[in-house]
Protein backbone atom coordinates (compact mmCIF):
# COMPACT_ATOMS: atom_id res chain seq x y z
CA UNK A 1 0.00 0.00 0.00
CA UNK A 2 1.45 3.36 -1.07
CA UNK A 3 1.74 6.15 1.45
CA UNK A 4 -1.11 8.63 1.78
CA UNK A 5 -0.37 12.00 0.17
CA UNK A 6 -3.74 13.66 0.82
CA UNK A 7 -6.12 12.83 3.66
CA UNK A 8 -9.57 14.40 3.72
CA UNK A 9 -11.26 13.56 7.02
CA UNK A 10 -14.90 14.43 7.69
CA UNK A 11 -14.89 17.59 5.59
CA UNK A 12 -18.15 19.52 5.45
CA UNK A 13 -19.15 22.77 3.76
CA UNK A 14 -22.33 24.80 4.09
CA UNK A 15 -23.62 27.82 2.22
CA UNK A 16 -26.22 29.37 4.50
CA UNK A 17 -28.78 26.62 5.09
CA UNK A 18 -27.54 24.49 2.19
CA UNK A 19 -25.11 21.65 2.91
CA UNK A 20 -22.79 21.28 -0.09
CA UNK A 21 -20.53 18.65 1.51
CA UNK A 22 -21.34 16.37 4.41
CA UNK A 23 -18.59 14.45 6.19
CA UNK A 24 -16.40 13.64 3.19
CA UNK A 25 -13.49 11.33 4.02
CA UNK A 26 -11.01 9.97 1.48
CA UNK A 27 -7.31 9.15 1.24
CA UNK A 28 -5.40 9.82 -1.98
CA UNK A 29 -2.23 7.76 -2.28
CA UNK A 30 1.11 9.00 -3.55
CA UNK A 31 1.29 8.56 -7.32
CA UNK A 32 -2.39 7.62 -7.64
CA UNK A 33 -4.70 8.40 -10.55
CA UNK A 34 -7.98 9.24 -8.84
CA UNK A 35 -11.25 10.01 -10.62
CA UNK A 36 -13.94 12.19 -9.04
CA UNK A 37 -17.38 12.04 -10.64
CA UNK A 38 -20.95 12.99 -9.87
CA UNK A 39 -23.89 14.88 -11.37
CA UNK A 40 -23.94 18.66 -11.53
CA UNK A 41 -24.39 20.06 -8.04
CA UNK A 42 -23.05 16.92 -6.37
CA UNK A 43 -20.25 18.77 -4.56
CA UNK A 44 -17.24 17.95 -6.75
CA UNK A 45 -16.13 21.53 -7.28
CA UNK A 46 -16.81 22.44 -3.66
CA UNK A 47 -14.63 19.54 -2.53
CA UNK A 48 -11.68 20.51 -4.71
CA UNK A 49 -12.15 24.14 -3.67
CA UNK A 50 -11.80 23.03 -0.05
CA UNK A 51 -8.75 20.89 -0.87
CA UNK A 52 -7.02 23.66 -2.80
CA UNK A 53 -7.93 26.37 -0.30
CA UNK A 54 -10.24 28.41 -2.52
CA UNK A 55 -12.95 27.81 0.09
CA UNK A 56 -12.53 27.15 3.82
CA UNK A 57 -14.17 23.97 5.06
CA UNK A 58 -16.70 24.25 7.90
CA UNK A 59 -15.79 20.95 9.52
CA UNK A 60 -13.25 18.16 9.36
CA UNK A 61 -9.57 18.32 8.47
CA UNK A 62 -7.28 18.13 5.45
CA UNK A 63 -3.73 16.80 5.64
CA UNK A 64 -1.25 16.98 2.79
CA UNK A 65 2.12 15.26 2.77
CA UNK A 66 1.83 14.73 6.53
CA UNK A 67 0.95 18.36 7.36
CA UNK A 68 -2.40 19.73 8.54
CA UNK A 69 -3.30 22.32 5.89
CA UNK A 70 -6.93 22.80 6.92
CA UNK A 71 -6.47 26.49 7.73
CA UNK A 72 -3.76 27.35 5.22
CA UNK A 73 -4.67 29.88 2.50
CA UNK A 74 -4.65 28.77 -1.13
CA UNK A 75 -1.28 30.29 -2.04
CA UNK A 76 0.46 28.41 0.79
CA UNK A 77 -1.15 25.16 -0.33
CA UNK A 78 0.14 25.84 -3.84
CA UNK A 79 3.64 26.27 -2.48
CA UNK A 80 3.26 23.02 -0.52
CA UNK A 81 2.66 21.24 -3.83
CA UNK A 82 -1.08 21.36 -4.63
CA UNK A 83 -1.83 22.70 -8.12
CA UNK A 84 -5.11 22.99 -9.95
CA UNK A 85 -6.15 23.51 -13.54
CA UNK A 86 -9.52 25.15 -14.18
CA UNK A 87 -12.33 24.02 -16.47
CA UNK A 88 -12.38 27.44 -18.14
CA UNK A 89 -8.79 28.47 -18.98
CA UNK A 90 -7.84 31.88 -17.61
CA UNK A 91 -4.71 32.95 -19.50
CA UNK A 92 -3.43 36.47 -19.94
CA UNK A 93 -4.56 36.60 -23.57
CA UNK A 94 -2.31 39.52 -24.52
CA UNK A 95 0.75 37.51 -23.41
CA UNK A 96 2.53 34.69 -25.19
CA UNK A 97 2.39 31.15 -23.89
CA UNK A 98 5.95 31.58 -22.59
CA UNK A 99 5.06 34.79 -20.75
CA UNK A 100 1.99 33.20 -19.16
CA UNK A 101 4.10 30.39 -17.76
CA UNK A 102 6.85 32.73 -16.57
CA UNK A 103 4.23 34.58 -14.49
CA UNK A 104 3.12 31.25 -13.00
CA UNK A 105 6.72 30.17 -12.32
CA UNK A 106 7.51 33.51 -10.69
CA UNK A 107 4.59 33.10 -8.27
CA UNK A 108 5.23 29.45 -7.52
CA UNK A 109 8.94 29.66 -6.76
CA UNK A 110 9.12 33.11 -5.18
CA UNK A 111 12.06 33.26 -2.84
CA UNK A 112 13.97 30.52 -4.69
CA UNK A 113 16.06 33.04 -6.62
CA UNK A 114 15.66 31.59 -10.12
CA UNK A 115 17.61 33.43 -12.80
CA UNK A 116 15.86 34.43 -16.04
CA UNK A 117 17.72 31.64 -17.84
CA UNK A 118 16.70 29.06 -15.23
CA UNK A 119 13.06 30.18 -15.40
CA UNK A 120 13.10 29.99 -19.21
CA UNK A 121 14.65 26.53 -19.11
CA UNK A 122 12.02 25.32 -16.64
CA UNK A 123 9.17 26.72 -18.73
CA UNK A 124 10.45 25.12 -21.94
CA UNK A 125 10.81 21.79 -20.14
CA UNK A 126 7.16 22.02 -19.06
CA UNK A 127 6.00 23.02 -22.54
CA UNK A 128 7.88 20.09 -24.01
CA UNK A 129 6.12 17.68 -21.62
CA UNK A 130 2.72 19.21 -22.39
CA UNK A 131 3.28 19.29 -26.16
CA UNK A 132 3.31 23.07 -26.58
CA UNK A 133 7.02 23.74 -27.12
CA UNK A 134 6.32 24.97 -30.65
CA UNK A 135 3.78 27.51 -29.35
CA UNK A 136 6.00 29.25 -26.78
CA UNK A 137 6.07 32.59 -28.61
CA UNK A 138 2.45 32.50 -29.80
CA UNK A 139 -0.10 34.77 -28.13
CA UNK A 140 -2.38 32.72 -25.90
CA UNK A 141 -5.32 34.47 -27.57
CA UNK A 142 -4.46 32.62 -30.78
CA UNK A 143 -4.48 29.13 -29.30
CA UNK A 144 -7.08 26.50 -30.13
CA UNK A 145 -9.35 25.17 -27.39
CA UNK A 146 -7.27 22.03 -26.84
CA UNK A 147 -4.08 24.11 -26.77
CA UNK A 148 -5.63 26.39 -24.14
CA UNK A 149 -6.46 23.33 -22.01
CA UNK A 150 -2.87 22.14 -22.35
CA UNK A 151 -1.58 25.58 -21.40
CA UNK A 152 -3.82 25.54 -18.33
CA UNK A 153 -2.19 22.25 -17.32
CA UNK A 154 1.23 23.75 -18.04
CA UNK A 155 0.50 26.70 -15.75
CA UNK A 156 -0.48 24.27 -13.00
CA UNK A 157 2.77 22.37 -13.59
CA UNK A 158 4.73 25.58 -13.04
CA UNK A 159 3.94 25.16 -9.33
CA UNK A 160 6.07 21.97 -9.30
CA UNK A 161 3.13 20.03 -7.85
CA UNK A 162 3.07 16.79 -5.96
CA UNK A 163 -0.71 16.77 -6.50
CA UNK A 164 -2.40 18.03 -9.67
CA UNK A 165 -6.16 18.58 -9.62
CA UNK A 166 -7.54 18.57 -13.16
CA UNK A 167 -10.99 20.15 -13.24
CA UNK A 168 -12.84 18.98 -16.37
CA UNK A 169 -9.85 19.64 -18.63
CA UNK A 170 -11.59 17.75 -21.46
CA UNK A 171 -15.03 19.38 -21.34
CA UNK A 172 -16.24 20.40 -24.80
CA UNK A 173 -13.34 18.82 -26.68
CA UNK A 174 -13.61 16.48 -29.66
CA UNK A 175 -12.64 12.82 -29.31
CA UNK A 176 -9.08 13.16 -30.61
CA UNK A 177 -8.57 16.25 -28.44
CA UNK A 178 -9.77 14.36 -25.38
CA UNK A 179 -7.13 11.74 -26.15
CA UNK A 180 -4.45 14.45 -26.38
CA UNK A 181 -5.25 15.88 -22.95
CA UNK A 182 -5.64 12.43 -21.44
CA UNK A 183 -2.23 11.42 -22.77
CA UNK A 184 -0.70 14.52 -21.13
CA UNK A 185 -2.25 13.63 -17.76
CA UNK A 186 -1.06 10.03 -18.03
CA UNK A 187 2.45 11.24 -18.90
CA UNK A 188 2.55 13.60 -15.91
CA UNK A 189 1.35 10.84 -13.60
CA UNK A 190 4.01 8.49 -14.98
CA UNK A 191 6.59 11.05 -13.84
CA UNK A 192 5.35 10.70 -10.27
CA UNK A 193 2.67 13.37 -9.98
CA UNK A 194 -0.50 12.34 -8.16
CA UNK A 195 -3.58 13.36 -10.17
CA UNK A 196 -7.19 13.92 -9.15
CA UNK A 197 -9.30 14.14 -12.30
CA UNK A 198 -12.80 15.64 -12.19
CA UNK A 199 -14.52 14.69 -15.40
CA UNK A 200 -17.91 13.99 -16.99
CA UNK A 201 -16.51 12.03 -19.94
CA UNK A 202 -16.87 8.49 -18.67
CA UNK A 203 -14.56 6.89 -21.22
CA UNK A 204 -11.78 9.21 -20.09
CA UNK A 205 -12.47 8.42 -16.43
CA UNK A 206 -12.39 4.69 -17.13
CA UNK A 207 -9.15 4.88 -19.09
CA UNK A 208 -7.36 7.17 -16.66
CA UNK A 209 -8.40 6.26 -13.14
CA UNK A 210 -7.12 3.55 -10.83
CA UNK A 211 -9.87 4.42 -8.35
CA UNK A 212 -13.06 6.44 -8.68
CA UNK A 213 -15.29 8.18 -6.14
CA UNK A 214 -18.81 9.34 -6.94
CA UNK A 215 -20.54 12.16 -5.06
CA UNK A 216 -24.23 12.95 -5.00
CA UNK A 217 -25.87 15.72 -2.97
CA UNK A 218 -22.64 16.35 -1.08
CA UNK A 219 -22.11 12.75 0.03
CA UNK A 220 -19.99 9.84 -1.15
CA UNK A 221 -22.30 7.24 -2.67
CA UNK A 222 -19.67 4.91 -4.11
CA UNK A 223 -15.91 4.41 -4.23
CA UNK A 224 -13.85 1.69 -5.88
CA UNK A 225 -12.41 0.55 -9.19
CA UNK A 226 -13.74 2.35 -12.28
CA UNK A 227 -15.67 -0.72 -13.41
CA UNK A 228 -17.21 -1.31 -9.98
CA UNK A 229 -18.31 2.31 -9.68
CA UNK A 230 -19.78 2.46 -13.19
CA UNK A 231 -21.74 -0.74 -12.52
CA UNK A 232 -23.10 0.47 -9.18
CA UNK A 233 -26.86 1.07 -9.25
CA UNK A 234 -26.59 4.14 -7.04
CA UNK A 235 -24.17 5.73 -9.49
CA UNK A 236 -26.32 4.84 -12.48
CA UNK A 237 -29.37 6.36 -10.81
CA UNK A 238 -27.66 9.51 -9.55
CA UNK A 239 -25.13 10.24 -12.24
CA UNK A 240 -26.26 8.47 -15.39
CA UNK A 241 -29.95 9.03 -14.86
CA UNK A 242 -30.76 5.34 -15.10
User: CATH topology for 4-89+159-238?
Assistant: Rossmann fold (3.40.50)
Cα–chain center distance at 183: 15
Contacts of 61 (CB under 8 A, 6+ apart): 7, 9, 10, 11, 68, 70
Class of residue 139 by CB neighbours under 10 A (exposed 0-12, middle 13-18, buried 19+): middle
Cα-Cα-Cα-Cα dihedral of 66, 68, 74, 75, to 10°? -60
Tell me which DSSP letter residue 214 carries.
E
Per residue of the chain (242 residues), give pLDDT as tens: 579 999 999 999 999 999 999 999 999 999 999 999 999 999 999 999 999 999 999 999 999 999 999 999 999 999 899 999 877 667 777 789 988 888 887 666 554 556 677 777 888 899 999 999 999 999 988 999 999 999 999 988 988 899 999 999 998 899 899 999 999 999 999 999 999 999 989 999 999 999 999 999 999 999 999 999 999 999 999 866 65
- pTM of structure: 0.91
Residues in the chain: 242
Phi/psi at 225 (nearest 5 deg)? -65, 155
Contact in structure between 153 and 85 (CB atoms under 8 Å): yes
Amino acid sequence: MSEVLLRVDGVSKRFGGFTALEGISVDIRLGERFGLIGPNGSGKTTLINCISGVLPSDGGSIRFDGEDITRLPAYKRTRRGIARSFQVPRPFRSMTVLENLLVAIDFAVIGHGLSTRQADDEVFAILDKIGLAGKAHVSSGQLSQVELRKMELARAMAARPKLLISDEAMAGLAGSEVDEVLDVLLKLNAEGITVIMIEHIMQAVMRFSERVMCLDAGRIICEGTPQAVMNDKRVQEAYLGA
